[in-house]
Chain A
Amino acid sequence: MNNVLKYSISNLLSRKGRSFLTILSILIGIAAIVALSSFGLGIKYYMEDIARTMGADKIMIMPKDYATALGESNVEFTERDLDFLKRIKGVDEATGMIVSVGKVKFKDYKEVYPYVTGISTNSKERRLAEEMFVGYGIIEGRTLKKGDVLKATLGYNYLIPNNLFKKPVSLGDKIKINDIEVEVVGFYEEIGNPQDDSNVYLSLEGAKKILGKENYFFILLRAAPDQNVAELGNRIKEKFRKYRDQKEGEEDFFVQTYEEIIETYGSVINIFIGVLVLIALISVFVAAVNIANTMYSSILERTQEIGIMKAIGAKNRFIALMFMFEAGILGLVGGGIGILLGYGIAKVGGIMAASAGLSMLKPAFPLWLITGCLVFAFLVGSFSGLFPAIQASKLKPVDTLRYE
């Protein structure tokens, strides 16, 4: 075995140019797989991390036409709706959120149009909203408290120059929301996606005044600790439907548990990764064809050598293994370099994404991805070499020496 391997390596080294080109072809495919998968996995881990830190005890009620335009729905929830939901058995806490796109102006800089969200100033209720939407916590200043009407807290991106405005906003600065002046009292930590990091938060009172809205866009619930969240979600849906006097299947609202949301995102991400990896796999397939092609032409060139080896006692198995190893080594080396290249691309991409405010796009390189790609590359190589190898081993020694 050892001898076959040595012999295979010396064969590859004696055809450096062609070996290099063949390696290049598989390298590209593997690099693409590593880079794409590492990003996909990074997003997946990010989501799982959020799910872990935020807990899965939350249920969200939102208008059915939510997807069309956030904050621009025909369905809204009233204070009475919120009271009704609060009283359902198994619901621990409930809070409503007012959401709308607002015009935000700071000094003389060009105005921006982020989401402006009204959240409760009750500390428990505010925490519920923060856990679900807002972020991890305050990085500078303070959260909104009772009596804050013309006060706002801002997303992380307002602290960064040339992001929303040319100059960063500081504590105590005044900004105008829908032409009403408010004071900035705090900033939230970075969430990692530009939309959420551009949000503006007001108290519910402030939102009603500035956005001119009375009703809630979202209602958030926290299940009691002993509750099965999915069952509770179903119960809420049924009770709330009856309360709103709607037929089954014709509700104008959604009830979604946090688990479901994470799952939905998770499966979307999985499909996304799957499609990307599929594209990368095509290039690996092309590489496999290329390896097979290299091996076939190598056999043609080395027909005489195969004959000599057989004449001096090489068994079919030796010849077959020799070609299999050569193909496998091409795969393995290509895979190894491909992984390094993919790693490099993903790292650079991750740094670029982070500097663009997309710190959620952080590539992840679990060990199984690395070893998996390496084994995969070796197998692709060996398998591509399988048929050429069998063909080579079956050559009759006398036919290969016939030129005499």
Chain B
Amino acid sequence: MKFKKIIELVNVWKTYQVGAVEVNALRGINFSVKKGEFVAIQGPSGSGKSTAMHLIGCLDLPTKGKVYLEGKDISCMSESLLAQIRGKKVGFVFQQFNLIQNLTALENVALPMIFQGVNEKERIKKARNLLELVELGDRVNHYPNQLSGGEQQRVAIARALANDPDIILADEPTGNLDSKAGKEIIDILFTLHKKEKKTIVMVTHDNRLAKYAHRIVHIKDGKVIRGE
């Protein structure tokens, strides 16, 4: 299989101002992800792996360096343009699920499609299909607090798939789940990778999950130390 670079970070620095102190979360990080790859990012807490994830997902901009998404430099884009891009190209799965509490499972899954201007009929149809895909077809009208952790994370995966993005970013997706539910989530992600050819970047400190990945990138002190 021939891989094309879909994400590329070139000498990226991210500096936060904490009070009077400057904290370098990333110190000239370089790495790329090819289309269709399944990459795990590992590192101790505070290593900068979440920051790297945010940059890949267009949630944040680098202090220095370039971030390319499908060859386009996003480092200088406006917030609205970034929102558009991440809505369309990137699907997020968070450790805390991050569903919106006063929306049903169906509404949560349909929400990203609103931002891309998909009409209501199509939104509902697609959201229903996606919930069936994650085996929650009988839970569409449940609110997040009526669902178990594993179910909530599956809703979140369905939501991540709403706009049919090429890239799925998962930040400790099983961190808040028991091992059985965690296994189910990983299976879904792995199936998406295998069958739908989705590019998956997953932050995890769980070595068992990391095994599923093509490649493991190790980050420490804001630098890639292995797997670049």
Contacts and interface: CB of A to CB of B under 8 A. Distances in A.
B21 to A, nearest CB: 17
A24 interface: no
A313 B111 CA distance: 9
A398 B50 CA distance: 10
Contacts of A315: 79-80, 83-84, 115
Interface string B67-80: 00000000000011
B94 A316 contact: no
A318 interface: yes
B100 interface: yes
A313 B120 CA distance: 17
B83 A310 contact: yes
Given A313-B112, A316-B83, A318-B115, A308 B98 contact: yes
Contacts of B84: 313, 315
Interface residues of A, number: 22
Measured as residues with beta carbon below 8 angstroms from the partner, the interface class of chain B is 20 to 34
Interface in B168-227: 171-172
A398 B83 contact: no
A286 interface: no
A314 B102 CA distance: 17
B159 interface: yes
Given A11-B102, A396-B60, A398-B59, A313 B96 contact: no
Contacts of B171: 404
A318 B83 CA distance: 11
Contacts of A11: 102
Nearest to A13: B102
A312 B92 contact: yes
A271 B26 CA distance: 67
A14 B102 contact: yes
Interface string A379-404: 00000000000000000111001001
Contacts of B114: 3
A246 B112 CA distance: 88
A305 interface: yes
Interface string B109-120: 001101110001
Interface string A140-168: 00000000000000000000000000000
A313 to B, nearest CB: 2
Nearest to B116: A313
B35 interface: no
- Greatest chain A CB density within 10 A among B114, B159, B171 is at B114
Interface string A340-365: 00000000000000000000000000
A319 to B, nearest CB: 9
B86 A313 contact: yes
Nearest to A311: B92
A317 interface: yes
Given A311-B59, A311-B92, A401-B59, A316 B103 contact: no
B139 interface: no
B94 A313 contact: no
Contact of B96 (A310, A312, A318, A404): A404
Contacts of B112: 312-313
A304 B80 contact: no
* Residue in B59, B92, B101 whose Cβ sees the most chain A Cβ within 10 Å: B59
B88 A313 contact: yes
B48 interface: no
B64 interface: no
Contacts of B80: 315-317
B163 interface: yes
Contacts of A51: none
A304 B98 contact: yes
B34 interface: no
Interface of A: 3, 10-11, 14, 304-305, 308-318, 396-398, 401, 404
29 contacts: A14-B101, A14-B102, A305-B101, A308-B99, A309-B111, A310-B83, A311-B57, A311-B86, A311-B98, A312-B86, A312-B92, A312-B115, A313-B86, A313-B116, A314-B87, A315-B83, A315-B84, A316-B79, A316-B80, A316-B83, A317-B80, A396-B79, A397-B60, A398-B59, A401-B54, A404-B50, A404-B94, A404-B95, A404-B96
Interface of B: 50, 54, 57, 59-60, 79-80, 83-84, 86-88, 92, 94-96, 98-103, 111-112, 114-116, 120, 159, 162-163, 171-172
Question: Across chains A and B, which 8 residue pairs bring their CB atoms closest together, nearest first?
Answer: A313-B87, A313-B115, A14-B102, A398-B60, A312-B112, A315-B83, A308-B98, A398-B59
